[in-house]
Amino acid sequence: MMKLRLLRVRNALVRECMAEFLGTFVLLLFGCSAAAQVKTSRETKGQFLSVNMAFSVGVMSAMYLTKGITGAHLNPAVTLSFCVLGRVPWRKLMPYSLSQVLGAYVASGLVYLVYYDAIMEFSEGVLTVYGPNETASIFATYPTEHLTLGRSFLDQVVGTGMLLLCILCLDEKRNSPAPSELTPPIVATIVLGISMSMSGNCGAAINPARDLGPRLFSLTAGWGTEVFTCYNYWFWVPVVAPPIGGVLGCLMYLVFIHWQLPGPDPPEDTSTLSTISDKIKQPSSTWENEVELKCAHL
């Protein structure tokens, strides 16, 4: 073991970025593979619901893999929201986000390799964004035809807001918390609910990494610049709207629930979601204290 310990990365941030990379990789490998399976089998080996369910299983697995290391954000909108709430230091926002995008990119590449034959047969070798044989939607999300820009922006804000609103309560001991060891399947169920109800307009990305990583991959893999230019450069919506939605969801949670709970908050509140590295480096700062500081600046 002495020898293997040499493989341990000394920099805590790098270790955490590796975890976020792996987690987002797992999430997208499940999700995009299911999209490829359903699309290329022309819905004979699954349907819309099974893609939603596969993303949900991906969330669960990725959380069990990484929750103890980073808190399992898997989503820049979640990382940003946790920065705003003071749960995560701001300096981690960019490294985490880039790791998440990279994980999604690499997962898309692997899905492409695994389903290459099926994609080629389905698309007859022409990789397009439009039409009955389009395959770009295996990777990134695209809006329906008559959706206006503002509507799709609102859609992403509402979906991500619901995500944050619903997951923030799960570890609040003063309310009715979920069992800490079972938050992965419960968060996965919430994500399943969102993708069954709010993916009608534009696919419920609610996650810049989940959308941008695969879109970048499909750009490089042969779908061309259309993956970015189509629908009047729509690609920026699932990148920009989710972080805004996430913060609004947090605010809604604070106003309706968190600030209404009886106080003062016990100091052990912070321990459930805090990560190993946080415990080591920030033993004296509790979440509540940081919320206090950060939110006072809002």
Which residues in the 113-132 window bind a second copy by CB under 8 A? 113-118, 121
Stretch of 89-97, 126-134, 198-206, 208-216 lying at the interface with a second copy (CB under 8 A): 198-206
Q: Does 133 bind a second copy (CB under 8 A)?
A: no
Q: Are 40 and 119 in contact (CB under 8 A)?
A: yes
Nearest distance from residue 229's CB to a second copy, in Å?
A: 21
Which distant-in-sequence residues (6+ apart) come within 8 Å of 217 by Cβ? 104, 105, 108, 109, 112, 139
Q: Does 166 bind a second copy (CB under 8 A)?
A: yes
Q: Are 118 and 40 in contact (CB under 8 A)?
A: yes
Nearest distance from residue 94's CB to a second copy, in Å?
A: 20
Give the one residue of 134, 226, 269, 288 binding a second copy; rule: CB under 8 A. 288
Nearest distance from residue 44's CB to a second copy, in Å?
A: 7
Nearest distance from residue 280's CB to a second copy, in Å?
A: 8
Of residues 26 through 85, those in contact with a second copy by CB under 8 A are: 26, 29-31, 33-34, 36-38, 40-41, 44-50, 52-54, 57-58, 60-61, 63-69, 72
Structural tokens at position 117: 């034959």
Of the two residues 175 and 220, which places its CB atom closer to a second copy in the complex? 175
Alpha carbon distance, N-terminus to C-terminus of the chain: 48
Q: Does 281 bind a second copy (CB under 8 A)?
A: no
Of residues 240 through 259, those in contact with a second copy by CB under 8 A are: 252, 254-257, 259
Nearest distance from residue 225's CB to a second copy, in Å?
A: 26
Q: Does 18 bind a second copy (CB under 8 A)?
A: yes
Distance CA 21, CA 16 (A): 8
Mapped onto helix, strand or coil, the DSSP state of residue 147 is: coil
Distance CA 284, CA 271 (A): 11
Q: Does 266 bind a second copy (CB under 8 A)?
A: no
Distance CA 139, CA 216 (A): 9
Q: Does 278 bind a second copy (CB under 8 A)?
A: no
The one-letter code for the residue type at 111 is V
Mapped onto helix, strand or coil, the DSSP state of residue 61 is: helix
Nearest distance from residue 6's CB to a second copy, in Å?
A: 9
Closest listed residue to residue 167, CA positions, set 178, 158, 156? 178
